[in-house]
Amino acid sequence: MENSFFVFSDGNIPIVLKRFHMCTWEFNNNSSLIEFGFEVDNKSITEDSLSISLFIPWMNKSCEVKDLYGKLRNSENSRFIFNDSVSSTHSLDGGLNRTGVIHTFSNRNRLCLMPVALDKTRDQFITTTINLNSYRALPDEERPNVYFRFWVKPTISYISMRKKGIGKSTIIHDIKINEKRNIPDDQIDFFNDKEICEIEQCFSFNIVPNKYDILFYDNSSLKNVRTLEYESFNKYLGDKRVKKDELIVIFNKKKSEESYSFFSIYSKERIGFGQFSLAILINIVCGILLFIPGYRNTLNSEKGFREIIKELPLEIYIAIIIVISMILFFLWPWLKNYLDSLWERARSIFKKNR
């Protein structure tokens, strides 16, 4: 799965992100979710509106998106997201909390959380726009950094790359952010006119089923691994796919780099339907091979092929049907991927010719 992301703006003034959060969720029911969080340096805010765009290679108009301001203005939710208690909250609109709130934390700088408008009308891009009138009404010295966050629900099952072997399943996360060498060929001219945002600190959270073991990780960026706090994150996310004691969080952090990449591998040993099917298939094939020599001795050499086929026991036909069915079962993932690639290729050709 291609996961090269680009954060950019159209303005002449470069936008600096103090922190960029990316949180990938992969659930046990073969579905996924991804959150993006932006902490914008207050020195980058010079106008009454702010627009930042994000290139997501698998994004399309069918993907669901949701602004998470309604969750984060709640101090209890922000306490877990920012890993710090909220000592006080100031409203930007007299207590309605519709245009923004400022959280004062115990151990980190204040943060202004604001709602964001999300535009996904163009495939592979999502554009965020913030109305900053209420924020700009504050005195200069009272303006903290601005933070907004949203999630995207992909139309594909997995954000990661999946490898399914006979006895092992593997998840490969290969996430790249603002690596210019990975700009798609058909987007190079587009990005020539854009300003890639500077990111001072980049946070990557992989949330995967706890059935998987960490096979490989970047020791320089890994901060911690923990079981997901079910009660708090269930309240924050409001997603029924979050189950108690089913997910673990792998937290990585890097800073002061021109671009960022995070690579990790998770695997689990599995004995399931596929393994049982393979054992049955081998057993049936061996049984047929053992049957043929004995059956050959009973054949009349003068009989034709059709007569021999008609005289075969019913059990042999049943065994052959089971063998063919199982072969199709094992080939189906490859066939499905091949058909999906043909469909995507046809869609891209149709878009170019439209």
Distance separating alpha carbons of residues 73 and 101, to the nearest angstrom? 6
Q: Select from 9, 10, 126, 7 the least CA-distant residue to 58.
A: 126
Q: What is the CATH number of the domain that holds 179?
A: 2.60.40.1730
Two tokens, residue 88: 């006080």
Dihedrals phi, psi of 203, to nearest 5 degrees: -115, 130
Q: Within this chain, do residues 281 and 181 fall inside the same structural domain, yes or no?
A: no
Question: What are the residues whose beta carbons fall under 8 Å from the beta carbon of 341, sequence distance 6 or more?
Answer: none
DSSP notation for 230-299? HHHHHHHH--TT--TT-EEEEEEEEES-SSEEEEEEEEEE--SHHHHHHHHHHHHHHHHHHHHHHHHTT-
Tens-digit pLDDT string for the chain (354 aa) = 578 999 999 867 789 999 999 999 999 888 899 999 999 999 999 899 999 999 999 999 999 999 999 999 999 999 989 989 999 999 999 899 999 999 999 999 999 999 999 999 999 999 999 999 999 999 999 999 999 999 999 988 888 988 877 667 889 999 999 999 999 999 999 998 899 999 999 999 999 999 898 989 888 899 999 999 888 888 888 888 888 889 999 999 999 999 999 999 999 876 656 666 666 777 777 777 667 776 666 666 666 667 767 777 777 778 778 778 777 777 776 777 677 777 777 776 776 666
Please answer whether residues 216 and 64 qualify as being in contact, where contact means their C-beta atoms are separated by less than 8 angstroms.
no
Distance separating alpha carbons of residues 153 and 85, to the nearest angstrom? 29
Q: Within this chain, do residues 170 and 204 fall inside the same structural domain, yes or no?
A: yes
- Count of the separate structural domains present in the chain: 2
Q: Within this chain, do residues 288 and 240 fall inside the same structural domain, yes or no?
A: no
Write down which residue in 269, 287, 322 finishes a domain.
269
The whole-number pLDDT of residue 128 equals 96
Q: Within this chain, do residues 298 and 157 fall inside the same structural domain, yes or no?
A: no
With left for phi above 0 and alpha for psi between -120 and 50, is residue 256 left, alpha or beta? Answer: left
DSSP notation for 138-182? S-GGG--EEEEEEEEE-SSS-SSEEEE-SSEEEEEEEEEES-GGG
Q: Within this chain, do residues 182 and 286 fall inside the same structural domain, yes or no?
A: no
DSSP state of 326: H
The whole-number pLDDT of residue 15 equals 93
- C-alpha torsion 137→142→145→146, nearest 10: -30
Write down which residue in 269, 294, 325 finishes a domain.
269
The whole-number pLDDT of residue 22 equals 97
Model-level pTM greater than 0.95? no
Beta-sheet pairing, 195-196 with 4-9:
antiparallel
Q: Within this chain, do residues 304 and 236 fall inside the same structural domain, yes or no?
A: no
Q: Within this chain, do residues 168 and 253 fall inside the same structural domain, yes or no?
A: yes
Q: How many CB atoms lie within 10 A of CB 168?
A: 12
The whole-number pLDDT of residue 37 equals 97
If you compute the radius of gyration of the chain from its CA atoms, what whole number of angstroms results?
A: 27
**Measuring CA to CA, how many Å separate 183 from each of 14, 111, 123, 220?**
19, 32, 15, 26
Q: Within this chain, do residues 23 and 111 fall inside the same structural domain, yes or no?
A: yes
Q: Which residues are bridge partners to 233 per DSSP?
A: none
Distance separating alpha carbons of residues 82 and 147, to the nearest angstrom? 11
The whole-number pLDDT of residue 33 equals 94
Domain that holds residue 241: 4-269
Q: Within this chain, do residues 127 and 250 fall inside the same structural domain, yes or no?
A: yes
Q: Within this chain, do residues 49 and 123 fall inside the same structural domain, yes or no?
A: yes
Write down which residue in 227, 243, 269 finishes a domain.
269
Q: Within this chain, do residues 161 and 308 fall inside the same structural domain, yes or no?
A: no
Which DSSP helix (H) or strand (E) runs through 201? strand 198-209
Place of tokens 């594909």: 156
The whole-number pLDDT of residue 316 equals 76
Which DSSP helix (H) or strand (E) runs through 338? helix 314-353
Question: What are the residues whose beta carbons fall under 8 Å from the beta carbon of 256, sequence distance 6 or more?
Answer: 200, 201
Two tokens, residue 320: 């052959």
Q: Within this chain, do residues 318 and 344 fall inside the same structural domain, yes or no?
A: yes
